Structure 1
Amino acid sequence: MIDEPLQRLRAAARRTRELATNRAGTGLGHEDADDDVGTIGTDGALGFDPFPLLEALHHHGVRAVVIGQVAGIMHGSTELTGDLDLLWDGAPEHAPALAAAFASIDARLTDEKGGLLPTRPDSFLRPKVSFTSPGAGGDCCTPALPWRDLRVREFLDHAISAVDPGGLVVHYASREDLIRMRHALGRPKDLRRAAELAALAPDHP
């Protein structure tokens, strides 16, 4: 049986695709998301499937931690999303594998101003790089990105791992750390989702 967090994510991605299929395109990408509605209201929801990238990261031995609402869904949040946000340690020696994983699914990288970046190791050494891929778009961040007073590097050590029968391992932020990140961002959707997470049962072992 697939680990329950991955079952939740697969089901949520399927519902997102079904919802987006029945509506007109918005012309909005994940970077244009409303602070209340989130990326479910953008074209990022069209064909949303985070698993091709998650599988590529696993195949290339990359330890990237899922953050944002995809992690929230894995903990039991009922809100849908249209993007996939990741946190990795930013170590230069890990960047080649990360670049290879993104290149393997033909991901497109952009900087904070929307300029195209080559899919190579040095592009990922920025505090944040945005990406789009056939299944999902989002942000790939390092602890160098300002997170107010949060010690985000520690969140990498707190991450939980979910495993499916095929051996896919997906690392995702702990519920407590995800709540802290939500409060640090402070947007309406973050505070709403933080309250939902706080009402859920504690993390499984």
Structure 2
Amino acid sequence: MDQMIDEPLERLRTAARRTRELARNRTATGLGHEDADDDVGTINTDAALGFDPFPLLEAFHRNGVRVVVIGQVAGIMHGSTELTGDLDLLWDGTPAHAPALAAAFDSVNAQLTDESGSLVAPHPDVLLRPKAPFTSLGASGDCCTPALPWGTLPVREFLDRAITAVDPDGLEVHYVSREDLIRMRRVIGRPKDLRRADELDSLPAAKGR
């Protein structure tokens, strides 16, 4: 598996800090990541307030569960300049891995959304659904499995091809490859996805690896 030392994580740290600074004096609207529009995205919602994906990413690492970052956070790690306020995730959906994933969410006091739309404490059964929306102090988003309808995309293969970024303290963060992220963007096809796919396509190969 490819490994990259620190640079993608530094890009993410810088973007998260810029997001927090941008949203610092913003009045809360009650709109969360699920309310984001198809053009601007979550940067204009309350999800951007205090955005910091690192506590949750560190929790995954501590609990030994392999979760792959997708969406715009992965785009930022590849060099995208667009800010975001949400953290979207992909894992393999294997029941044996669900307890460790639930423990990671629980360690940062995250809440998940059940079938009725109510917030509930992390539980392995909730995470086994194709998509489990989550909310934590630093980040909110969707935690997805390959069972989510992805059209013709072989997303299980995306998990196998994911890149691993490692910082000097040993934190490992897995994120989808640029090519697979572009494929995801174009299949979803919202204005923001197509714009971001074009941006990723324009990046030098080394930067967007």
Verify same fold: TM over 0.5: yes
Match of 2:11 among 8, 32, 37: 8
Q: Which residue of 1 aligns with 2:147?
A: 144
Following the alignment from structure 2 to structure 1, what is the Cα–Cα distance between the partners of residues 67 and 110?
16
The residue correspondences of 1:124-203 to structure 2 (distance < 5 A) are 124-202=127-205
SS in structure 2 at match of 1:145: coil
Instruction: State the 1:203 CA deviation.
Output: 5.3
SS in structure 1 at match of 2:184: helix
Q: Which residue of 1 aligns with 2:46?
A: 43
SS in structure 2 at match of 1:27: coil
8 Å CA contact retained: 2:110, 2:121: no
RMSD value over aligned CA atoms? Answer: 1.3
1:98 matched to 2:95: no
Following the alignment from structure 1 to structure 2, what is the Cα–Cα distance between the partners of residues 166 and 123?
32
Give the 3 Å change call, closer, same or farther, for CA 190–57 of structure 1 in structure 2: same
8 Å CA contact retained: 1:85, 1:140: yes
Give the partner amino acid of 2:26. R
Deviations 1:70-124 (A, max 9, x none): 0000000000000000000000000010000000010010036522334111111
Length-normalised TM-score, structure 2:
0.94
Following the alignment from structure 2 to structure 1, what is the Cα–Cα distance between the partners of residues 62 and 76?
23
Q: Which residue of 2 aligns with 1:19?
A: 22
SS in structure 2 at match of 1:144: coil
Q: Tell me the percent identity.
A: 76
Following the alignment from structure 1 to structure 2, what is the Cα–Cα distance between the partners of residues 45 and 165?
27
8 Å CA contact retained: 1:111, 1:128: no
SS in structure 2 at match of 1:54: helix
Give the partner amino acid of 1:38. G
SS in structure 2 at match of 1:66: strand
Following the alignment from structure 1 to structure 2, what is the Cα–Cα distance between the partners of residues 130 and 203?
33
1:34 matched to 2:34: no
Give the partner amino acid of 2:44. G
Length-normalised TM-score, structure 1:
0.96
Say how many residue pairs are matched: 204
1:85 matched to 2:88: yes
Deviations 1:115-174 (A, max 9, x none): 233411111110000000010000000000001110100000110000001100000000
Instruction: State the 1:50 CA deviation.
Output: 0.0
